[in-house]
Structure 1
Amino acid sequence: MRPLLSRTFLSGILIFASAASFATELKVPIMERASDGLDTCALGEVTDLKTGGDGFLAVRSGPGTEYEKIDEIFNGDRVWMFEQKGHWIGVAYGSDAITCSPISIDHPLDKPGKKGWVHENWIKIIAG
């Protein structure tokens, strides 16, 4: 009976782990765009979130409120901005290894750290 319990327990862990990784998957990929030898992104900072409000900026799996929230960022957090769709910005954050070096061909963003979409109202460009 012990092996059956172990298999059931392990199956439950695998299902939970799969659900957790699925929840943070982007529904709309962020593209890194080539642009005649120019850097591919700009540095921004979360700003002007009201202290009486939610206190966070929702990071979403796609560019719109209809996409699920996958994370939260806060005033003073810095993000690397790669793509904009309407009022939504595709960002990478949470890693010191993100670079914006020029590239020769467009491709889905493959930088380290976290990625998602945020509304432009609360992002101030500080470099780029």
Structure 2
Amino acid sequence: MKKLLCGLLLATGALAAGFAVAGDELDVPVMMWSDGDLDTCSLGAVTGLDPNGDNFLAVRAGPGTGHRMLDKIHTDDEVWIFDENNGWFGVAYGSPNISCSPIRGNRPYDGPGSTGWVFGKYVKIIAG
């Protein structure tokens, strides 16, 4: 019982700190698309949130409100946009080491940082 309680406290602390824990896998993976010598992503920033509302952008496990919310990001937070599905962006964020270098062959994003899906209306593309 003590191990279970300790594990629960650790997982709860990790979620509160914004870190993913086992079981928070994406329902729909964020894909990196190969396109010759072109970069695989664009840089975006969160914008247009209502400061009188929730004032966060939900990061979800898939492209749509029916998917679990995994995290919250805020105005001016930067995201790397790798994928798009019906107005939702598949993004990576939270690490300075995210790379958009060209790749050979399409594959799910497996680099540093966190990943998820955000509603594209609230992301302004600033490079790429």
Band the TM-score falls in, shorter-chain normalisation? 0.7 to 0.9
- Pairs aligned (count): 121
Aligned twin of 2:127? 127
Using the size of structure 2 for normalisation, the TM-score is 0.87
Matched, 1:10 2:3: yes
> Which digits, 9 at most, give the CA deviation of each residue in 1:107-127, with x for residues without a partner?
110010111100010000000
How many Å apart are 1:18 and its aligned residue? 6.9
Aligned-partner Cα distance in 1 for 2:9–2:69:
18
Aligned twin of 2:115? 115
SS in 1 for 2:121: helix
Aligned-partner Cα distance in 1 for 2:7–2:100:
36
How many Å apart are 1:95 and its aligned residue? 0.2
Segments of 5+ residues of structure 2 without an aligned counterpart are: 16-20
Which structure's CA Rg is the greater one?
1
Kindly indicate which of the two structures has a greater share of residues assigned to helix.
1
Aligned-partner Cα distance in 2 for 1:89–1:70:
15
Aligned-partner Cα distance in 2 for 1:16–1:114:
21
Aligned twin of 1:28? 28
Aligned twin of 1:4? none
Q: What percentage of residue pairs aligned between the two structures are identical?
A: 45
Using the size of structure 1 for normalisation, the TM-score is 0.87
Aligned-partner Cα distance in 2 for 1:51–1:15:
33
RMSD: 1.7
Aligned twin of 1:88? 88
How many Å apart are 1:11 and its aligned residue? 3.1
Amino acid across the alignment from 2:97: A
- Change in Cα spacing, 1:74 to 1:18, as seen in structure 2 (3 Å) is closer
> Which digits, 9 at most, give the CA deviation of each residue in 1:12-52, with x for residues without a partner?
43466678624532111111110011000000000011111
Segments of 5+ residues of structure 1 without an aligned counterpart are: 1-7
SS in 2 for 1:111: coil
SS in 1 for 2:99: coil
SS in 2 for 1:125: strand
